[in-house]
Structure formats: C-alpha cells, structure tokens
Amino acid sequence: MQITDKVIRALLRALLSFQRRCWEHGEAMQALYEFGAYDELVVMAKQAIVMSLSDGRVCIQNGDEKALVTDPCCAGEGLLAAWKYTGDIQFKHAFDKLLDYALHHAPRNEDGIVYHVTRAPQFWLDSMYMLPPFLAIAGEYEEAIRQVNGYWNYLYNPEHQLMHWMWDDAEKKVAWPNFRSICNGFAIAGMTRVALALPESMREERDELVCKTMLVVDGMLRVTGEDGYSHCTYDDPATHVAMNGALILAGVLYRLLSKNLIDRGRYLPIANRLRMSFHQRVDEYGFVEDVARRNPYTRSSPNGQSFFLIMEAACRDFEISEKERQEAK
C-alpha cells in the first residue's frame, strides 16, 4: 500500500482505537511525538496523568500494573513535549514527579541498576527502551548510560549478538534464555534514543552506544527474513511468525542513517527493503498486520501501530537530512 496522507490519518485513527497497557500507552505517546501529531499527543498525555499514582508513575490502568517500575517512564518524553507544546504546567509537574521516582525511589540492585517490576528482583530487556531514553532527555546522561550498560552486562549474549529477555537478580542467572524479537527491538531503539540525546561533549559515549546497537542489529538481521519476518522468539520455531522486531529495526536504521552514524551503502538498502515490505501489511482501515496475534480480527497490536509510525517518522527525517546534505554540496 502506498503511504499517502490519507493512509497516515487511518494509521493514527487505528492507533488511537486500541485499548492499551501501560507500556503501550507510552509507546503511542512516543510515536505521536516523533511523528509530530501534537494535538493527539496532548490528549494522551492528559490521560497518562489521569492514570497516575501518588509516587509519580503514570499510565497505570489496573491493579497488576502497580508493579511496573520502568514501563511508566516510556511516557516521559511525551509529557515533556506536551508541556512545551501547550505551556500547561501540569505536564511538566508530571514529568518532574516521574523523574524523581525513577532517580530516587525505583527499586534497584546494589549496583544501582533499576528493576523492571516491584514484585521481583528482575531486569527485563523492555526496560532498555522505557527508562534510559527518559533519563537522557531529562539531562541525566551519566545515569542513562549507567542503566544501559547495566542491562547490557546482564542480558547481552555475544555468541548470538542478541539479548536475553530477563535476568533473575536473586538467582544471579538468565531467567529467560531465549531471544524475543520485539525485546531486542526495544534494546536497539532505546540505545539509539540515548545515543542521539547525548551532548556533543559525550561523543565517545555516543559512539560506544551506536557500536552496541549495531552488534544487536546485525544479530537480528541474521535471524530475520528478507521480508522482515521472523519467529517472535527468534530461537523457538514453535512461536508464530511476525515482523515485530524488524519493524523497530527499520526505524532505528533510518534514525542512525539520518545522523550519518552507520554505513549508508550497507544499511540503507536494508531499511528501504524492510519498509517496503511493511507497507504491504497495512489494511484499508489503517491497521498494521502481522505485528502480533494479540487481536484475532486484525492481527494487529498497539505497539505495532506505534512503531510503524516511528519508522515512518524516522524515514521522513532521513529524507530531510539527505535533501539538506545535497543542497549543502
């Protein structure tokens, strides 16, 4: 399907139609922010505050979500953007309170690495997308890098160039030995967002983050088909085939290409090929198919919608950067 303005509006409508969990609300806010859909972002930011706890965590919709530690932080950049767009101080207050929770009250281990949930001493790979980018855009650069390095040290598998989903800090071992596609996508997207948020004075740290990102990118590409499909758990053929991880990967490549941080000749054709494949999976109502089997009617999911829009925003920004480079010659 050709992605016209009409299709983009359908994609946005489809995204807003979903009922979401905490992390999906934050992902949707991030997608709206990156795509520049600020009016829709503000509405979702307001709802994030409505669903907040007294300790500052936002997007908490039900009892079991009260155990979530890092997922609420996914809404952080959207809250800040809503404040800058509207000038409404409630969004800044929510951002500051969430930051205070993340820095001073979130449970963590003796090395200061933040756990994913309150109910168990566990590191989840999801946290790589939820927490460090929030810290980085808040100006807490060193803390953001410390969290990235912590998750990396516990979860990265150098043999496969992929990251495990979960570490049990009580047992001091990997609690989930397989490799989930969407979670590896979270990892590369989170590290990319941190890298691009760092000031110029931290170029060495930025380059190290990009290096780690591309190690996992190459690992993901080895287990992903040319069309972007893979098993949802890469090394478990019993799991269904979808394009969850590669959808995020394509957006990451465009972001890094727009900043001229990776090899254009190698990675631009991959990003373009994946994007064209994903365009064929948008239905007439704007739902992105084959990103999960959460919904038996659409084969769609909230994070699939979000990361499709994030990919499109990254491609748009890459094309703008390319035009600017050509004009500067």
Please state, in angstroms and rounded to a whole number, the distance separating the CA atoms of residues 151 and 154: 5
| Percentage of residues in the chain having pLDDT higher than 90 | 84
pLDDT tens column, 57-103: 999 988 889 999 999 999 999 999 999 999 999 999 999 999 999 99
Give the residue, 216 or 242, on which the prediction is more confident.
216
pLDDT tens column, 203-236: 999 999 999 999 999 999 999 999 999 999 999 9
Q: Looking at residue 5, what is its pLDDT?
A: 83
Q: Looking at residue 328, what is its pLDDT?
A: 84
pLDDT tens column, 288-324: 988 865 545 557 889 999 999 999 999 999 999 999 9
Please state, in angstroms and rounded to a whole number, the distance separating the CA atoms of residues 195 and 149: 12
> Residue 89 is part of a domain; what is its CATH number?
1.50.10.10
Q: Looking at residue 63, what is its pLDDT?
A: 82
Q: Looking at residue 7, what is its pLDDT?
A: 86
Q: Looking at residue 169, what is its pLDDT?
A: 97
- From 180-184, 283-287, 291-295, 308-312, the region with the lowest mean pLDDT: 291-295
Task: Label residue 265 by pLDDT band (50, 70, 90).
Answer: very high
Domain count, the chain: 1
pLDDT tens column, 12-45: 999 988 878 999 999 999 999 999 999 999 999 9
Q: Looking at residue 74, what is its pLDDT?
A: 98
**Domain range spanning residue 313?**
5-328
Contact between 254 and 317 under an 8 Å Cβ cutoff? The reply is: yes
For residue 55, what are its two tokens?
């300790």
**In sequence order, what are the residues at sequence separation of 6 or more whose Cβ sits closer than 8 angstroms to the Cβ of residue 283?**
289, 298
Q: Which of 209, 299, 293 shows the shortest CA–CA distance to 252?
A: 209
Average of pLDDT values for 227-250? 92
Please state, in angstroms and rounded to a whole number, the distance separating the CA atoms of residues 322 and 325: 5
At 230 the three-state DSSP class reads: strand
CA distances from residue 328 to 261, 317, 321 in whole angstroms, order as listed: 18, 16, 10
Please state, in angstroms and rounded to a whole number, the distance separating the CA atoms of residues 81 and 134: 12
Q: Where are the alpha helices (DSSP H) in 18-167?
A: 22-35, 38-50, 76-86, 89-104, 127-130, 132-137, 141-155
Please state, in angstroms and rounded to a whole number, the distance separating the CA atoms of residues 3 and 178: 35
